[in-house]
Amino acid sequence: MPDPANNSEILSALKSAMPFQMVPGNLMQEIAAICTQESYEAGEKIYDLGAVADDVFIVAYGSVRHTLSADTDASKHEKTMRSGDVFGWAAVLEGQSVRMAATASIERTLVLRINGKKLIKLFESDPAVGDVVMTRFATLINKEFYVPRSIADQVPGFKQALNASNLQGSEVTTMALTVYRISTWLKSPRPYLMLIGFALFLSFWMLSVEIWKLPRFVDMPGPTEVFTEWFSEDPYYGLSIYTPEYYKHIGISLQRIAFAFFLATGLGVPLGLFLGWSKKFREYIFPLFEVFRPIPVLAWVPLAIIMFSGSETPVIFLTFLASFFATTLNTMLGVESIDESYSRAARCLGASRWQTFVHVVIPGAMPYIFTGLQISIGVAWFSLVAGEMVSGQYGLGYVINTAYMMIEYPKIIIGMITLGVVGYITSAMVRMMGDYLMQWRVRELALGDN
Amino acid sequence: MSAVIDENLGSLADVTDGAISIKDVVKIYDPDGAAVMAVDHCSIEIPAGEICMIVGPSGCGKTTLLNAIAGFHGITSGSIHLDGELLCGPEKPQAEPGSDRIVVFQNGALFPWKTNLDNVAFGPMMAGKLSKEEIYDKARSMMADAGLSGNENNYPGEISSGLRRRVEIVRALMNDPKVLLFDEPYRALDSLTKSVMHEALLEIYYRNKVTIFFITHDLEEAIFLGHRLIIMSSRPCKPKKIVEVDIPHPRDYSVLTSPRFRELMNEAKDVVHEEATKAFEAGEKEG
Ligand SMILES: Nc1ncnc2c1ncn2[C@@H]1O[C@H](COP(=O)(O)OP(=O)(O)O)[C@@H](O)[C@H]1O
Ligand SMILES: [Mg+2]
């Protein structure tokens, strides 16, 4: 049972050490648990050259003289380690079992000792973090001691253990991150809870419709009926994964979504940026915007049909509308959310107003813009289905509506489930696009919580 | 930090640029008619290359003065000159922000969306006077000098707050500024990290001597770093007492335990305490 006061001392000393600063709380606790504290009087030897390298040391307070052996190729052989400094890293090097330096305390000094092997074992359980800490070790060794890369290269890498965990290098790819996300996701309880959720839902559906035959559900098709129809090569109502018809509906809905979404983004993002950036512009436009924004899309349906001829344009217009408001508003909020220090810093560093716009306003608003786009793609599907149910020749909304009128109930459910899946995929694509454009955020988050 | 130290490191004799002259500056904030006087006929002369520590209670008007020098807002009357050239004065109430005076912000203002290297290269890239290769070479070597190599391709969010402050100073120095303006940059750091930062700052200063205008309310920090302390009155702010720190540079942490340090500490403490009490009684909130 660790003494809590002691434990918090150990934790704060660990946090002051550069390689450990990014370690998340729970792993930090585990590291703290394998730390021991030891104090040395002034002038006392800590270890000698050639001694067995078992532990890594962190100075909690005091100072330590660190003398590298004369035959190491360092440009500076002597160094004073103060609180927060880490030494004794031979203990985590691969193929290095003895001390390459001699160390002695200069004054009364308290150090933390961490067994190198145990530390590496802990990191193997969390390769992503381990890799970061080890990369920092390597940097430290390289920087502080001017030793050749070859020694730093003995730092064990955890990259093999988890290809995707290379969060430190600049070559993080979206693919690697996705793999990384999926692998951490699979390790968490979430996917299993999710499966249980689905199972519960399906069994409730099955029980209420097919087994108990509850009165409220008499006309409702049961899961067996729906799935048989959906996966049938010769569907009774003419719509299944084997009919080209099915893909045509999906394709046309997607086409409309894409058109409306890109139009809304192309107009909404610049408009939002300027609304946020120029106070004057905002005073002209924003009140107008605020009057139109709360009008629900459904209220626009009649006007859309009157305004636009044909069956295609009204649907796209309706889909566009809600997306456009969400995107513009969030982009504007994004610009407003940017800390004033950033634009002041840019001005200090000599950036013109336009340069500040390009280098500060746009990237600074990016997180909000992508929140906006997430909302935008969601409301786009919502309005699309509304539009397709009233007007239009094809599309998933049309499928649901006609199936209802023709009393082909399983088709309604097929249309609904398909909408859910396709909608989810499109919003995942928007999120991936955001991650790709905002590597800096992804990496911050990846280091912050996992 | 045990590099060969030469006796000249603390001398200002060879610094020619960066003298700030603040004369009779008054700043009145006037949001909807409720006038707040933040700075009252404040005059300070800062010689080129000095580390001038501005100490005063929260809300007394220190940031206001710094923002006037930086050009983030105007002044009501008085004038500020840099090396004899007018920054702001009667005909020109607000100074133009520029890379001769760079602010290091209280909460840090490295752009989180740019890598550390891109941050450091930002100023010269905007100026566009040098080629991209030249700029990035210089940025890399300045980062290396400040012990930051290995962090070039990381984003600021990936490195410790201590390292971030260092990157921010290097980013400023890339532009060969005459003055660095610090607004309580180490306020949020714990005392351990702070002490490391102080030594790193002095180390950087010994290599690139620029005038440093440094706001703090930490007396120990002020005496450890500064050539001179200007202790401000509670709001409206004006110099109340000036303390010359006659401890020779280069300094390291052993200074903290020297008797002279204690003496200076005591000399300054009473004044600071008195002003802080006044500010407290006037009900000032953190500014
Ligand atoms: N933009 C502003 N409008 C009105 N009053 C302000 C403004 N900025 C600061 N003040 C007031 O001016 C005083 C000095 O503020 P500041 O310079 O930030 O103090 P310090 O940096 O010394 O803590 C405070 O009372 C603060 O409330
Ligand atoms: Mg302030």
What are the structure tokens assigned to A61, written together? 């307070």
- Does residue A143 have a pLDDT over 60? no
Alpha helices in chain B (DSSP H): 62-70, 116-127, 132-145, 161-173, 191-207, 219-225, 259-281
B150 closest CB neighbour out of A142, A346, A360: A142
User: How does the average pLDDT of chain B come out, rounded?
Assistant: 86
Q: By percentage, how much of chain A surpasses pLDDT 70? A: 85
Tokens of A313: 């344009």
User: Using CA of residue B98, residue B101, residue B103, residue B109, what is the dihedral sign?
Assistant: positive
| Ligand 1 lining (C-beta closer than 6 Å) | B 29, 31, 36, 38, 56, 58-64, 235, 287
Confidence bin at A157 (pLDDT 50/70/90): low
Closest in B107, B126, B151 to A341, CB measured: B107
Residue A189 CB neighbours (<10 A): 8
Average pLDDT over residues A96-113: 85
Residue A162 has pLDDT above 70, yes or no: no
Atom of ligand 1 nearest to the CA of B284: 25
DSSP per residue, A258-302: HHHHHHHHHHHHHHHHHHHH-HHHHHHHHHHHHHHTTS-HHHHHH
- Encode pLDDT of A385-412 as tens digits: 988 988 778 999 999 999 988 888 899 9
Q: Do A183 and A309 lie in a common domain?
A: no
Assess whether pLDDT exceeds 70 at residue A175: no
Q: Does A169 touch chain B (CB under 8 A)?
A: yes
A181 domain residue, yes or no? yes
Residue A164 confidence (pLDDT): 31
Say whether pLDDT at A172 is over 60: no
Q: Are residues A356 and A403 in the same domain?
A: yes
Residue A176's Cβ-count burial label (10 Å; 0-12, 13-18, 19+) is middle
Q: Which of A61, A97, A56, A54 is nearest to A81 (CA)?
A: A61
A178 or B37, greater pLDDT = B37
Residue A57's contacts (CB-CB under 8 Å, 6 or more residues apart) are A46, A64, A86, A87, A88, A103, A111, A112, A113, A114
Number of domain units in chain A: 2
Q: Is residue A216, in this structure, part of any structural domain at all? A: no
Question: Residue A196's pLDDT is what?
Answer: 92
Q: Closest Cα partner for A47 from A98, A107, A106, A103?
A: A103
Answer yes or no: are the C-beta atoms of A414 and A239 closer than 8 Å. yes
Q: Are strands B179-183 and B239-244 parallel, antiparallel or unpaired?
A: unpaired
Chain B residues with CB-CB distance to A347 below 8 A: 71, 97
Q: Which of B100, B104, B155, B164 has the most A C-beta neighbours within 10 Å, making it the best mutation to test the interface with A?
A: B155
Q: Calculate how far, in angstroms, residue B38's C-alpha sits from the geometric centre of ligand 1.
A: 6
Residue of B67, B115, B122 for testing the chain A interface, max A β-carbons within 10 Å: B122
Give B107's contacts in chain A (Cβ within 8 Å): 339, 341
Question: Are both A424 and A328 inside the same structural domain?
Answer: yes
- Rounded to the nearest angstrom, the minimum Cα separation between B274 and chain A is 32
Confidence of residue A259 (pLDDT cuts 50, 70, 90): very high
Residues of B with CB under 8 A from a CB of A: 1-2, 70-72, 97-99, 101-103, 105, 107-109, 111-115, 122-123, 126-127, 147, 149-151, 153-155, 157-158, 160, 163, 171-172, 175, 190, 192-193, 196
Quickly state the pLDDT bin for A140 (edges 50, 70, 90): low
Residue A1 has pLDDT above 50, yes or no: no
User: Is A285 domain-assigned?
Assistant: yes
Name the residue range of residue A420's domain.
Answer: 221-447
CA of A109 to the centre of ligand 1 (A): 44
pLDDT digits (tens, 9 = 90+) for B114-164: 999 999 999 999 999 999 999 999 999 999 988 888 889 999 988 887 888
When mean pLDDT is compared across A64-73, B70-79, B201-210, the lowest value belongs to A64-73
**Do the domain assignments include residue A198?**
no
Report how far apart the first and last C-alpha atoms of chain B are (Å, whole number): 35
Residue A178: predicted pLDDT: 62
Residue A236 has pLDDT above 90, yes or no: no
The answer to whether B113 contacts A444, with C-beta atoms less than 8 Å apart, is no
DSSP state letter for B207: H
Considering all CA atoms of chain A, what is the largest pairwise distance in Å, rounded to the nearest integer?
A: 93
Q: Considering A137, A161, A187, which residue would you say is the last residue of a domain?
A: A187
Amino acid code (one letter) for A106: I
Co-location of A238 and A354 in the same domain: yes
Residues A240 and A308 in one domain: yes
Please list, in sequence order, all residues whose beta carbon lies within 8 angstroms of the beta carbon of residue A337, skipping any fewer than 6 positions away.
Answer: A364, A365, A368
Percent of chain B's residues with pLDDT above 90: 45
Shortest Cα–Cα distance, B87 to chain A (Å): 14
The most confident of the ranges A14-28, A288-302, A434-448, B6-20 is A288-302
Distances (CA, A) of A426 to A254, A378, A429, B156, B193: 9, 9, 5, 31, 46
- B157–A444: do the CB atoms touch at under 8 Å? yes
- Across the interface, of A78, A84, A341, the residue whose CB is closest to B192 is A84
Nearest to A137 by CA among A73, A89, A94, A78: A89
Residue A210 forms part of a structural domain: no
Q: Position B280: which residue type?
A: F
- Domain identity same for A253 and A162: no
More confident residue, B3 or A265: A265
What are B236-285's pLDDT values in tens digits? 888 888 989 988 888 888 888 889 989 899 888 888 888 888 777 776 55
Q: How does DSSP classify residue B107?
A: T
Other CB atoms within a 10 A radius of the CB of residue B177 amount to: 23
CA angle A66/A70/A75 to nearest 5° reads 75
Q: Is the pLDDT of residue A159 over 50?
A: no
Q: Are residues A256 and A171 in the same domain?
A: no
Angle between helices A362-390 and A244-277 (to 10 degrees): 140
Q: In sequence order, what E strands does B72-115 have?
A: 77-82, 85-88, 101-104
The nearest CA of chain A is from the CA of B270 a distance in Å of 30
Residue B155 has which token pair?
């984003």
Least confident range from A104-108, A142-146, B63-67: namely A142-146
Would you state the pLDDT for residue B20?
94
* A24 close to B (CB below 8 A): no
Measure CA of the first residue to CA of the last residue in chain A; give whole Å: 26
CATH number at residue A175: 2.60.120.10
If we measure between CA atoms, which residue out of A386, A399, A416, A382 comes closest to residue A243?
A: A399
Q: Which of A162, A187, A212 is the last residue of a domain?
A: A187
d(CA B268, CA B250): 22
Q: Quick check: A108 contacting B, CB < 8 Å? A: no
The residue of A348, A353, A356, A369 whose CB has the most chain B CBs within 10 angstroms, and thus the best one to mutate to test that interface, is A348
CA distance A295 to A290: 10
Strand-pair category, B179-183 with B101-104: parallel
Which are the contacts of B206, defined by CB distance < 8 A and separation ≥ 6?
B9, B10, B249, B250
Nearest ligand to the CA of B67 is 1
Q: Whose CA is nearest to atom 14 of ligand 1?
A: B61
Which residue's CA is minimally distant from atom 11 of ligand 1?
A: B38
> Does residue B60 contact residue B112 with C-beta atoms inside 8 Å?
no
Task: Establish if A201 belongs to a structural domain.
Answer: no
In a domain, A14, yes or no: yes
pLDDT at A145: 52
Task: Indicate if the pLDDT at residue A169 is higher than 70.
Answer: no
Q: Is B241 helix (H, G, I), strand (E, B) or coil?
A: strand
- Domain endpoint, select from A187, A207, A231: A187
Check CB contact under 8 Å for B149 and A346: no
Return the DSSP state at A107: S
pTM above 0.80, yes or no: no
**Comparison of pLDDT for A328 and A16, the residue scoring more:** A328
Rounded Cα gap, residues A14 and A22, in angstroms: 10
Model pLDDT, residue B5: 44
CB contact under 8 A, A350 and B149: no
Closest ligand by atom to B107 CA: 2
Q: Are residues A248 and A177 part of one domain?
A: no
Residues A312 and A435 in one domain: yes
- Output the pLDDT for position B43: 93
- Shared domain for A238 and A100, answered yes or no, is no
Q: Which residue, B234, B181, B210, is CA-closest to B53?
A: B181
Query: From CA A409, how far away is CA B247, in angstroms rounded?
Result: 89
Quick one: A145 and A41 in the same domain?
A: yes
The enclosing domain of A275 has a CATH number of 1.10.3720.10
Give pLDDT, residue A130: 76
Residues 6+ apart with CB under 8 A from A362: A273
Q: Looking at residue A141, what is its pLDDT?
A: 66
CB contact under 8 A, A359 and B111: yes
Residue A211 carries which DSSP code? I
Write down the mean pLDDT value for chain A: 83
pLDDT for position B10: 59
Residues of chain A positioned with their CB less than 8 A from the CB of B149: 139, 142-143
The token pair at A112 is 């933390």
Instruction: Determine the Cα–Cα distance for residues B57 and B284; give it in Å rounded to an integer.
Output: 9
Q: Is residue A206 part of a domain?
A: no
Q: Write phi, then psi, for A343 (nearest 5 degrees).
A: -75, -30
pLDDT 10s digits, A221-233: 889 889 999 999 9
Classify burial at B96, counting beta carbons within 10 Å of its beta carbon; exposed 0-12, middle 13-18, buried 19 or more.
exposed
Work out the minimum CA distance from A153 to partner chain B, whole angstroms: 14
Confidence band for A210, pLDDT divided at 50, 70 and 90 = confident
Ligand nearest to C-alpha B54 = 1
The reply to whether A157 and A234 lie within a common domain is no
Six-digit token pair at A400? 């649901």
d(CA B197, CA B147): 12
